[in-house]
Amino acid sequence: MKATIRSVAKLAGVAPSTVSHYLNQTAPLSAATAKNVEQAIAALNYRVNLGARNLRLRKTNSIGVVIPNITSPFFGEIAAVMENKLWEKGFQTLLCISERSPERELSQVAHLVSRQVDGILLVYCSQKSRVAETLKNISVPVVFVDRRVPDQYSVCTDNFLGGRLAARHLATLGHRVIGLLCGEPSVENVAERIEGFELELRRFGLEVPEAYKVKGRQDLQLGLRITDLLQLEPRPTAIFATNDIVAIGAWRKLVESGFRIPRDISIVGFDDIAVSRFLVPPLTTVAQPSREIGGKAVELLIDLVQAGDSVKPPENVILAPTLQVRGSTAPLKKGGVDGKAIDGRLPQKTKSVSQHKSRRPSTNG
């Protein structure tokens, strides 16, 4: 049988409350009894039952983390940062992966509440309205992550600014014909990125015609559809993808098709996932401050948890992304569009010699 505070007390010849005092240093014990208790604990290999303690204290020192997935690098990093910070602050992480299922997400939140978590960090995937409704019946503090919810606590990236950064970068490089690989605009974060991107472009007197926008689910497949853009006339000289996975899909298709990045075409992503740096050339991208997001969200939640009644008013923390300029973008070549074109699946290199020659002068010199 597992040792309890009673069995320890009995062996030490003291009362259970004395053992409790010893454990929690909530009353001074005589050196003799302290030693007795200590020995009894060691002898029985006693470990406090946190479940029982939590029941009594009405506090579990645990936080629920609900997230669509953790294999995607962005969410994975956020989850990792959260767990780390929570552990350091003495909280256990109860992880729930919703797998982008609204039903699952809702039942996970309900379950966590039932488990008496002290708070919840939520990257929701359901409708904003539905989430808000669910929360009315919930008594524990919730901090929304990577989603902004009015009148609630939330921490997220300034996606609008991110879009603007990307646009400004491409525009100042001289690009005038720009294509867009964008996720579904129903996703708020995506919509904001596009909005920011287009607004900033307009400041440069530019715009992206509808034909130059490829839309779909934000995954690798969407990136591969860059072929659609490559057939347009004039061909875009730069691409903005609303996340790095999409950008990598495009990058891959371009490299496979014999295009040279950034000489033939520049490409900007969003997120700055770890892979982006590995590519050759590495991807220029708008870096989400994922560490800051996770860290700030935990801090905010713990504040809330510890606030008791003196809760501060809802707060939407919006953190600025930063542009990571790397090898996948370059100034527009003078002389306009080169001779490359996509013909079915295979590129036909109508070599314009002058261009091929000037590649990587240092290796050919």
Partner DNA sequence: TTGAAAGCGCTAACAC
Partner DNA sequence: GTGTTAGCGCTTTCAA
Write out the residues near its own copies by the rule CB under 8 A. 2, 45, 47-52, 54-55, 60, 62, 65, 69-71, 73, 76-77, 79-80, 83-84, 87, 92-97, 99, 104, 108, 110-111, 113-116, 137, 139, 220, 248-249, 251-252, 255-256, 258, 274-275, 278-280, 346-347, 349, 360, 362-363
Q: Report, in Å, the least distance between residue 118 CB and DNA.
A: 14
Q: Which one of DNA, its own copies, none interacts with residue 346, CB within 5 to 8 A by kind?
A: its own copies
Q: Report, in Å, the least distance between residue 53 CB and DNA.
A: 4
Q: Which one of DNA, its own copies, none interacts with residue 221, CB within 5 to 8 A by kind?
A: none
Q: Report, in Å, the least distance between residue 12 CB and DNA.
A: 8
Nearer to its own copies, 42 or 318 (CB): 42
Q: Which one of its own copies, DNA, none interacts with residue 25, CB within 5 to 8 A by kind?
A: none
Nearer to its own copies, 310 or 363 (CB): 363
Between the CA of residue 132 and those of 127, 128, 150, what are the distances in Å? 9, 6, 10
Q: Which one of its own copies, DNA, none interacts with residue 24, CB within 5 to 8 A by kind?
A: DNA
Q: Which one of its own copies, DNA, none interacts with residue 18, CB within 5 to 8 A by kind?
A: DNA
Contacts with DNA by CB under 7 A lie at 2, 4-6, 13-18, 20-21, 23-24, 26-30, 32-34, 48-49, 52-53, 55-58
Q: Report, in Å, the least distance between residue 86 CB and DNA.
A: 21
Q: Report, in Å, the least distance between residue 212 CB and its own copies.
A: 24
Nearer to its own copies, 100 or 202 (CB): 100
Q: Which one of DNA, its own copies, none interacts with residue 21, CB within 5 to 8 A by kind?
A: DNA
Within a 10 A sphere around the Cβ of 90, how many other Cβ atoms?
8
